[in-house]
């Protein structure tokens, strides 16, 4: 703002005064001194000197202001009734103690008011400038007994109580000022406060005592319903609380007073709420002696018991329960009861007391959770996590949001669960949470058949909904039915009861698993077989009695028989090849595309496998995922089934073609990618000719998968599992290298990774590496055996060593060699312990190729009968075709795909 404009507002416009204004603006005290000496101060009836002083203070020119005061500028306005800031107001705003003291020495008025009705004392108090306030109070203590009030309702009594100025308080009270006068409720500072509120707010004990001796009310409510007693309890000063309660005129009213429910902070809180929430135990004990209403609810429905449980204040909870508080009180936001909170905190003793006093186990929060459902999620999560990580290889599934932290899962959880399970109201209803988990599910999971039967007989809705599922997004039991729960927990008697009430054995959970799947994964083998027997008998009857075959989705009674422990396959079934090769529909939710042989492999029914293979069941047939029985056996590390399938000419290098999870993987991929791979399984596959260079759709070879998983330090399993397989693989690699077998780049890198790990964990004997000793010995053995192989001829142009390097077409021509066949029929594994297996692999590949070639020649001749081809011509064509290509040619002929007639 322009200087002349500012000055015009101060009623000065002549050039003489403007000279002072310009000097004050510059802040030069020397020029001001020169101007005063030369012209004198403009002290006149227009009070221009007073205006100049205000102007200097408003501009923050401290030195200039002090010079003007010292040279005689007047410090008080002639008209005290005119509301405006005085030099003392300006000095307080400016924050200069020197000027304030100087003005007081010069007689500046403490009672002059500004436009807000504030005296300098009001102003300094609102600014929380204790130095100025105390200075002004000292000046006032013996000079005034007027209780000045500003426009916000702030009085001198309020200020004296804030600063514990007993002299002024006494003078004001003696002059009969209103002791319970409230600051305006719309004041930004201390709205609705009385002097007693202020004394407590600022912790001034002497002021509190003086006010109470003059009958100050402890019941007056400030804005939001805050009484002096609320403040005393909130700030945790026991002495104040005792003092206030002794001066109560209505103890029942004061002890139960509540904060207004529409306030943002502590809405609806009583004194007990405050004491418990803020952990003021001595105050809580004091309040309880006055017999308060301990069931008072806050705005959100929280009672003192809720708060004590949330704060885990066990002594307070016990005291409240002994006092007889309501145990089924419900807070409004989530419908949480004290029993919910006690369960969340695993407060076993409290839970026991609450249950004895009738707390409802079936009480539901808004998300449907009951105390029992919460405890069940905790208890069973740890057990299921352990089981899944060791048996199912499923990803860890978290608990409900309220129970996610694994550190919360303790042995005490089981005690909590068992205690809640014993509650008398357990069977009164069947609460269901937001994810579909019900009390009936819990009962099926952990109680006996009598309880389950009682539930079914008493509750028609439970009976009708016996196959109701937990929702598929449940992080603990996705898609489970009551039968899933009973089976997974090995409850044989419960399983029988549920089956009597038509529980569905084919119901699938979110993981695609039926109760039968879960039964097969039970650790107790005897219990597993008993439960499987019940489930499979029911499934067998369902299929046999089904009037609509389409409902069975291609599943036959033979499929079920192949899953049973003592499954006896009827001769009639075995005589019917169509029955043996029957596949479950590809879109079936359970075991899609599986043949009886697949299911026998899944359930490891070795006698059934023998019967099926004896009747020429195809060991290379794929299910809907593209898995063969051999793949399945490798998933289970089932050595016996693998041996049977390999003996039946299962294709060891058959790659999965459909499944996204196993796409492109061979049996060796699967075997080496298990958490605990079996060295015997790996050895069987390798010695049967498993291709270590085979790549899946991710360009991983079997060796790559093993190296990536088992050489990771953070995941590496016990050495007993890793070392033997690592040595087996490296020894096998050396065996092949000795005959110049080529590894692809991925396999080469993987072997290097395995070697690095072995060398990093090496064992030394007399300073020599055990690995080096082992490798050196094996290399020497390979060389010796190769020399022996090269010395034995099967004809003029071929040695046994040469056979190791032949392709399948060449081997097809050699399999008739009598010398070769004689060697194979002798003790070849003894004579050639290192390469004997490879000679057998080569022989089998030759036999297989020869059979394909013979059938392919016949098929080609039938497909193009008018163009006969010499054998040399067809052989030249066939050498560019794989066995799979030849198989397609044979099949094309069988279905008459091409017809030139």
Structure tokens at 663: 């796409």
Q: Is the pLDDT of residue 761 over 50?
A: yes
Give the whole-angstrom CA distance, residue 821 versus residue 811.
12
Structure tokens at 434: 């937001």
Domain for residue 25, yes or no?
A: no
Specify the 3-state DSSP secondary structure of 438. Answer: strand
pLDDT of residue 408: 42
Among the residues of 481-549, which ranges form H helices? 482-488, 492-500, 515-520, 525-545
Give the whole-angstrom CA distance, residue 330 versus residue 337.
5
Residues composing the chain: 901
The residue out of 506, 538, 570 marking a domain boundary is: 538
Question: What is the enclosing helix (H) or strand (E) of 94?
Answer: helix 87-94
Domain for residue 104, yes or no?
A: no
Domain for residue 464, yes or no?
A: yes
256-289 pLDDT, tens per residue? 999 998 888 899 999 999 999 999 999 999 999 9
Q: Are 362 and 428 in contact (CB under 8 A)?
A: yes
Stretch among 358-372, 395-409, 881-895 having the lowest mean pLDDT = 395-409
Exposure class string for 777-812: b at 16+ Cβ within 10 A, else e: ebeebbeebbeebeeeebeeebebbbbbebebbbbb
Q: Give 812 or 758, the one with higher predicted confidence.
A: 812
Give the whole-angstrom CA distance, residue 22 versus residue 9.
15
Q: Is the pLDDT of residue 354 over 50?
A: yes
- Do the strands 764-765 and 793-795 form a parallel or antiparallel pair, or are they unpaired? unpaired
Structure tokens at 174: 């003696």
Strand partners, 270: 258
Average pLDDT, rounded, for the chain: 85
Cα–Cα separations (whole angstroms), residue 768 to 460, 758, 765, 774: 77, 14, 5, 11
pTM of the model: 0.69
The residue out of 519, 538, 557 marking a domain boundary is: 538
Q: Is the pLDDT of residue 423 over 50?
A: yes
Q: Is the pLDDT of residue 694 over 60?
A: yes
Q: Are 755 and 761 in contact (CB under 8 A)?
A: no
Cα–Cα separations (whole angstroms), residue 633 to 363, 528, 887: 48, 19, 25
Q: Per-residue confidence at 714, pLDDT binned at 50, 70, 90?
A: very low
Q: Give 390 or 163, the one with higher predicted confidence.
A: 163
461-496 pLDDT, tens per residue? 899 999 999 999 888 899 999 999 999 999 999 999
Give the whole-angstrom CA distance, residue 819 versus residue 827.
14
Structure tokens at 194: 């009385």
pLDDT of residue 747: 94
Burial-class residue 270 by CB neighbours within 10 Å (0-12, 13-18, 19+): buried
pLDDT of residue 642: 97
pLDDT of residue 7: 39
The residue out of 493, 513, 538 marking a domain boundary is: 538
Give the whole-angstrom CA distance, residue 285 versus residue 270.
15
Q: Which residue has the tokens 């416009």?
A: 13
Task: Report the percentage of the chain scoring pLDDT > 70.
Answer: 86
Give the whole-angstrom CA distance, residue 638 versus residue 683.
13
848-894 pLDDT, tens per residue? 999 988 888 888 777 777 677 777 787 788 888 888 888 888 888 77
Domain for residue 38, yes or no?
A: no
Domain for residue 220, yes or no?
A: no
Q: Are 877 and 857 in contact (CB under 8 A)?
A: no
Domain for residue 781, yes or no?
A: no
Residue 313, φ and ψ in degrees, nearest 5? -90, 85
pLDDT of residue 22: 67
Q: Per-residue confidence at 392, pLDDT binned at 50, 70, 90?
A: very low
Mean pLDDT, rounded, for 302-309: 96
pLDDT of residue 407: 38
Identify the CATH number of the domain in which residue 470 sits: 1.25.40.20
What total of structural domains would you count in the chain?
Answer: 2
Q: Per-residue confidence at 767, pLDDT binned at 50, 70, 90?
A: low
pLDDT of residue 328: 95
Give the whole-angstrom CA distance, residue 505 versus residue 490.
15
| 143-147, 216-220, 573-577: range with highest mean pLDDT | 216-220
pLDDT of residue 412: 64
Strand partners, 484: none
189-210 pLDDT, tens per residue? 999 999 999 999 999 999 999 9
| 17-26, 52-61, 335-344, 445-454: range with highest mean pLDDT | 335-344
| Residue 900, C-beta contacts closer than 8 angstroms, at least 6 positions apart | 863, 864, 865, 866
Q: Give 303 or 59, the one with higher predicted confidence.
A: 303
Stretch among 251-260, 628-637, 720-729 having the lowest mean pLDDT = 720-729
Q: Is the pLDDT of residue 843 over 80?
A: yes
How does DSSP assign 325-374, residue by residue? Answer: --SS---TTT---HHHHHHHTT-HHHHHHHHHTT--TT---TT---HHHH
Q: Is the pLDDT of residue 178 over 90?
A: yes
Domain for residue 392, yes or no?
A: no
Nearest to 363 by CA among 330, 392, 403, 395: 330
Give the whole-angstrom CA distance, residue 113 versus residue 551.
95
Taking 3-state DSSP, the helix, strand and coil percentages for the chain, each rounded to the nearest 5, stand at 55, 0, 45
Mean pLDDT, rounded, for 542-549: 78
Q: Is the pLDDT of residue 29 over 80?
A: no
Q: Per-residue confidence at 84, pLDDT binned at 50, 70, 90?
A: confident
Q: Are 133 and 164 in contact (CB under 8 A)?
A: no
Q: Is the pLDDT of residue 383 over 60?
A: no
| Residue 647, C-beta contacts closer than 8 angstroms, at least 6 positions apart | none
pLDDT of residue 792: 93
Give the whole-angstrom CA distance, residue 92 versus residue 129.
9
pLDDT of residue 693: 95
Q: Per-residue confidence at 721, pLDDT binned at 50, 70, 90?
A: low
Task: Report the percentage of the chain scoring pLDDT > 90.
Answer: 52
CB atoms within 10 A of CB 620: 13
3-state SS, one letter per residue, for 607-664:
HHHHHHHHCCCCCCCCCCCCCCHHHHHHHCCCHHHHHHHHHCCCCCCCCCCCCCCCCC
Mean pLDDT, rounded, for 721-740: 88
Cα–Cα separations (whole angstroms), residue 603 to 318, 513, 533: 55, 14, 12
Give the whole-angstrom CA distance, residue 41 versus residue 55.
14
Mean pLDDT, rounded, for 392-397: 27
Structure tokens at 180: 């319970």
Q: Are 330 and 363 in contact (CB under 8 A)?
A: yes
Residue range of the domain that includes 488: 428-538
Torsion, CA 204, CA 208, CA 210, CA 211, rounded to 10: 130
Mean pLDDT, rounded, for 57-77: 81
pLDDT of residue 527: 94
Domain for residue 778, yes or no?
A: no
pLDDT of residue 385: 47
Q: Are 126 and 154 in contact (CB under 8 A)?
A: yes
488-534 pLDDT, tens per residue? 999 999 999 999 999 999 999 999 999 999 999 999 999 999 999 99
Burial-class residue 455 by CB neighbours within 10 Å (0-12, 13-18, 19+): buried
Q: Which residue has the tokens 């046999």?
A: 544
Biggest CA-to-CA distance, the chain: 144
Nearest 5°: the CA angle 481, 485, 489 is 165
Q: Are 245 and 229 in contact (CB under 8 A)?
A: yes
Q: Per-residue confidence at 549, pLDDT binned at 50, 70, 90?
A: low
Long-range contacts of 736-743 (CB under 8 A, 24+ apart): 736/692, 738/779, 738/782, 738/783, 738/786, 739/786, 739/801, 739/804, 739/805, 739/835, 740/805, 743/692, 743/693
Nearest 5°: the CA angle 424, 358, 293 is 175
Q: Is the pLDDT of residue 156 over 50?
A: yes
Q: Give 303 or 580, the one with higher predicted confidence.
A: 303
Q: Per-residue confidence at 606, pLDDT binned at 50, 70, 90?
A: very high
Give the whole-angstrom CA distance, residue 245 versus residue 252.
10
């Amino acid at each position: 703002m322009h200087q002349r404009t500012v000055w015009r507002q101060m009623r000065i416009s002549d050039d003489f005064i403007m000279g002072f204004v310009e000097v004050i603006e510059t802040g030069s005290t020397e020029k001001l001194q020169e101007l005063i000496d030369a012209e004198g101060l403009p002290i006149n009836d227009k009070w221009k000197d007073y205006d100049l002083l205000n102007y200097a203070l408003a501009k923050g020119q401290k030195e200039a202001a002090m010079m003007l005061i010292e040279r005689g500028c007047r410090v008080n306005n002639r008209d005290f009734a005119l509301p405006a800031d005085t030099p003392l107001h300006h000095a307080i705003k400016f924050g200069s103690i020197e000027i304030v003291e100087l003005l007081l020495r010069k007689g500046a008025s403490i009672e002059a008011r500004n436009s807000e009705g504030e005296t300098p004392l009001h102003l300094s108090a609102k600014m929380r400038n204790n130095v100025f306030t105390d200075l002004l109070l000292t000046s006032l203590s013996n000079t005034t007994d007027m209780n000045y009030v500003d426009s916000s309702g702030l009085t001198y009594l309020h200020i004296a109580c804030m600063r514990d100025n007993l002299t002024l308080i006494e003078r004001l009270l003696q002059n009969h000022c209103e002791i319970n006068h409230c600051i305006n409720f719309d004041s930004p500072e201390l709205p609705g406060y009385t002097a007693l509120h202020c004394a407590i707010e600022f912790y001034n004990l002497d002021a509190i005592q003086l006010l109470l001796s003059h009958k100050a009310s402890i019941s007056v409510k400030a804005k939001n319903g805050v009484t002096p007693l609320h403040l005393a309890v909130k700030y945790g000063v026991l002495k104040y609380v005792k003092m206030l309660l002794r001066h109560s005129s209505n103890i029942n009213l004061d002890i139960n007073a509540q904060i207004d429910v529409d306030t943002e902070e502590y809405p609806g809180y009583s004194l007990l709420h405050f004491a418990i929430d803020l952990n003021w135990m001595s105050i809580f004990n004091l309040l309880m002696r006055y017999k308060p209403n301990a069931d008072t609810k806050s705005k959100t429905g929280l009672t003192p018991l809720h708060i004590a449980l949330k704060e885990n204040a066990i002594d307070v909870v016990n005291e409240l329960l002994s006092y007889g508080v309501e145990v089924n009180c419900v807070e409004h936001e989530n419908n949480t009861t004290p029993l919910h909170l006690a369960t969340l905190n695993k407060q076993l003793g409290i839970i026991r007391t609450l249950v004895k006093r009738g707390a409802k186990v079936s009480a539901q929060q808004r998300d449907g959770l009951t105390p029992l459902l919460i405890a069940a999620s905790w208890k069973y999560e740890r057990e299921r996590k352990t089981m899944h990580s060791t048996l199912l290889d499923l990803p860890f599934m978290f608990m409900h949001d309220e129970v996610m932290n694994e550190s919360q899962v303790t042995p005490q959880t089981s005690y909590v669960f068992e205690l809640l399970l014993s509650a008398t109201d357990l069977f009164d209803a069947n609460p269901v949470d937001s994810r579909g988990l019900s009390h009936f599910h819990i009962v099926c999971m952990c109680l006996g058949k009598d309880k389950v039967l009682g539930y079914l007989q008493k509750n028609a809705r439970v009976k009708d909904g016996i196959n109701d599922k937990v929702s598929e997004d449940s992080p603990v039991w996705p898609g489970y039915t009551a039968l899933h729960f009973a089976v997974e927990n090995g409850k044989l008697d419960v399983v029988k009861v549920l089956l009597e009430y038509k529980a569905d054995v084919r119901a699938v959970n979110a993981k695609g698993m039926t109760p039968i799947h879960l039964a097969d994964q039970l650790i107790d083998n005897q219990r597993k077989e008993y439960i499987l027997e019940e489930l499979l008998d029911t499934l067998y009857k369902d299929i046999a009695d089904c009037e609509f075959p389409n409902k069975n989705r291609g599943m036959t009674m033979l499929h079920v028989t192949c899953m049973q422990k003592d499954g006896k396959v009827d001769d009639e079934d075995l005589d019917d090849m169509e029955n043996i090769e029957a596949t479950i529909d590809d879109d079936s939710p359970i075991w899609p595309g599986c043949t009886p042989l697949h299911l026998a492999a899944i359930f490891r029914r070795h006698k059934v496998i023998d019967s099926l293979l004896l009747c020429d069941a195809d060991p290379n047939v794929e299910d809907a995922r593209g898995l063969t029985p051999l793949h399945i056996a490798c998933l289970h590390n089932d050595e016996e089934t693998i041996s049977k399938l390999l003996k039946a000419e299962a294709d060891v290098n058959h790659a999965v073609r459909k499944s996204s999870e196993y796409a492109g993987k061979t049996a060796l991929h699967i075997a080496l990618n298990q958490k605990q791979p079996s060295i015997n399984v790996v050895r069987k596959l390798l010695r049967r000719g498993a291709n270590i260079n085979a790549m899946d759709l991710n360009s991983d070879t079997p060796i790559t998968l093993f190296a990536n998983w088992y050489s990771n330090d953070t995941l590496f399993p016990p050495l007993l599992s890793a070392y033997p397989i690592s040595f087996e693989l490296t020894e096998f690699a050396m065996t092949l290298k000795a005959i110049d077998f080529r590894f692809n780049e991925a396999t080469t890198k993987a072997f290097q990774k395995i070697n690095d790990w072995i060398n990093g964990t090496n064992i030394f004997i007399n300073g020599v590496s055990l690995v080096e000793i082992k490798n050196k010995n094996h290399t020497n053995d390979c060389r010796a055996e190769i020399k022996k192989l090269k010395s034995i001829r099967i004809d003029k142009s071929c040695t046994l060593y040469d056979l190791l390097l032949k392709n399948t077409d060449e081997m097809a021509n050699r399999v008739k060699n009598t010398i070769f066949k004689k060697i194979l029929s002798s003790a070849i594994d003894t004579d050639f312990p290192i390469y004997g297996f490879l000679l057998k692999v080569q022989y089998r590949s030759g036999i297989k190729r020869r059979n394909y070639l013979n059938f392919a020649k016949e098929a080609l001749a039938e497909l193009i009968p008018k163009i006969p081809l010499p054998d040399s011509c067809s052989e030249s064509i066939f050498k560019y075709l794989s066995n799979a290509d030849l198989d397609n040619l044979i099949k094309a002929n069988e279905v008459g795909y091409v017809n030139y007639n």
